[in-house]
Structure 1
Amino acid sequence: MARFRLSLTAALIGWSLAAAPGSAADLLPLPPPPPLPAPEPVEIGTGWYLRGDFTASDFLKPKDDTLPGTPGAPLTGFRLSSTEGFGGGIGYRFNSFLRADVTADTRSRSRFRDYSSRTNFTEGYNTEAGKLDVTTALFNVYADLGTWWGLTPYVGAGVGVAWKRFHDNWTGTTCLTAECGSGAPNYAIGFQGFDTRANHSSTSLAWAAMAGLSYELGAGLSLDASYRYLEVGKARTGFDVYQQNTRIKDIRANEFRIGLRWAFGPLPFGGFGGDPGIY
């Protein structure tokens, strides 16, 4: 009987030891599930850039736009002086070769002058003078042609509107002979005074073609130098006391621009800021 009790006790101890690991495992809580992957950050502002430019404008000679049937001698000797100005804009780079921006440029007043004579400048002539403001707003598209050693050549074109305003316009008569004036020799020869013409503003279509070169300075900043051919249409003065005015057309300029572009946010094709990445 004692031997039987000893065997039963040993069997119970062995069974308990064998079952203990499984029971302990059943009593432990389940491990927590793995954390969900964090959502990818949404990049806002990718590809956008700001720009600021200094512009030197060399205006070409405009043409006469006098209405048919207007009395008076034909206008000749047109001149618009060179000016300078500033501008800025915001743009977006779509990929490594295509970008677009919207720019606005204002220029200092260009001095305007023309002449007219019924006698082909033999007896006398009229001088017309004034000042012309030209402000433009353009939507531009550019093709970047690749990058070498940080230099990126490009070509582009733009279309938009131009605001023009004539200021301080006047016309005066200069007599070269007594026959030009009232017949009194001592009074007729020389400057005879002037008549003012009212200021006038006009708006018209403008377009431009350009080519340039940019250089990557780092930290999203690029130096930009370019040439732009600009056409801004027509302009005219207001009327004088004789109900006459001056009208010109084909107002054009060769413009040379230098400025800075600052790109902010990762570019859509790799890199950061103004860095064009590898492509």
Structure 2
Amino acid sequence: MRYYLIRGLVWASSRLPLRVSQALGGAIGSLLYWIPNPLRRDARDNLARCLPELAPARRRRILRRSLIETGKAALEAGYLWSLTPARARALLVGLEGREAVDAAVAAGRGVIIAAPHLGSWEMAGQIGGLEWGIWNLYRPLRIPRLEPLLQAGRTRLGGRLVRADVGGVKQLLTVLRHGEVVGILPDQDPGPGHGVMAPFFGVPANTMHLLPRLVRRTGAAVFIAWCERLPRARGYHVRIRPLPPAVADPDPVIAATALNRAVEDCVRALPEQYQWSYRRFKGDGRTQG
């Protein structure tokens, strides 16, 4: 049933105007704010952990907006997976920081772009494919029958997908050494034995050591990026910033701490569009929720 429901939603959203898909998604997200559910619970708990300095009313406003944006992200995916190059460029209002990426590519240097769960990461992946033929690391879906749909959508504009396994990591090393561009989600829990504990908003979180290892082994230029979803379906604005040298520190905790701090800075710039419902702290040995 989940397979057919998701396929149906993707098919329907691919045929609706973006403003309609986002409006429907926003309405669903608003319902999630008012009705008790796991997404609201986890987002509320994460906000309390990560932004305790904010007044409760401010955190509630961020919670509501975050769930609305989460709904938009779910309903806009089909539309974004059906984009033509011309339409994608028309929706791209700004691409700040591309000059540094272009310079690294022109010099034959590999590039890693860390894109957290902030704004429209699906659109960020499409723009990365369109501009640089980006190789995106991804985890296999829990519903294997949806893999062809995901593959077709995320590679439509030139992006390429690499599974997050041993073979995929070897492939990333190869493409980086050939001067290509790789995309990684830096704020996922990498699972037991695949990360180090480092503070994220002051809370210990299991943090990937893959990205720092790739930088050290290939000398890649490394950036962080997020794609802001503009109101009323006016388009998207991508911002790219260089990551600090400390993300390549041989001490894994120092590297992970620098990576998390960079993600924090991006999230603080746009907290309403962060996916606070993601169970970021499930690897810290405590029960979340």
TM over 0.5: no
Is the radius of gyration larger for structure 1 or structure 2? 1
Q: Give the alignment's TM-score, normalised by structure 1.
A: 0.20
Tell me which protein shows more helix as a share of its residues: 2
